[in-house]
């Protein structure tokens, strides 16, 4: 782990989500407890995000794990588990 920390990871994840979003919002207000659904992503569109997350963080995630996530914080947790 590079010691980036949760805040840095959250910032990078926000950027990936912003790049994949179909609607405008205040992305700086997206917090760990923000639900994926409230951001306009469903179980299919989050898989599109998965590719960019893997590219951004240089890791491979199981699609099944990502689809099960409900919040932004859960995705950050997955990234931490995989050594991002």
- Rounded CA separation 27/66 (Å): 20
Structural domain that includes position 31: 5-81
Per the CB < 8 A criterion, the answer to whether 17 and 57 are in contact is no
N residues, the chain: 84
User: What is the domain-level CATH number for residue 39?
Assistant: 1.10.1200.10
User: Mind listing the pLDDT tens digit of every residue in the chain (84 residues)?
Assistant: 345 788 999 999 999 999 999 888 999 999 999 999 999 998 788 888 999 999 999 999 998 888 889 999 999 999 999 988
Q: What is the pTM of this model?
A: 0.87
At 83 the pLDDT is: 87
Question: Are 49 and 20 a contacting pair, CB within 8 Å?
Answer: yes
pLDDT of residue 3: 53
């Amino acid at each position: 782990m590079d010691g980036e920390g949760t805040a840095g990871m959250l910032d990078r994840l926000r950027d990936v989500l912003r790049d994949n979003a179909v609607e405008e919002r205040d992305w700086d207000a997206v917090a760990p407890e923000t639900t994926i659904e409230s951001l306009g992503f469903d179980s299919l569109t989050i898989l599109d995000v998965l590719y960019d997350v893997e590219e951004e963080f240089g890791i491979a995630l199981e699609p099944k794990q990502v689809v099960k996530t409900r919040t932004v914080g859960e995705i950050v947790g997955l990234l931490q588990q995989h050594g991002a």
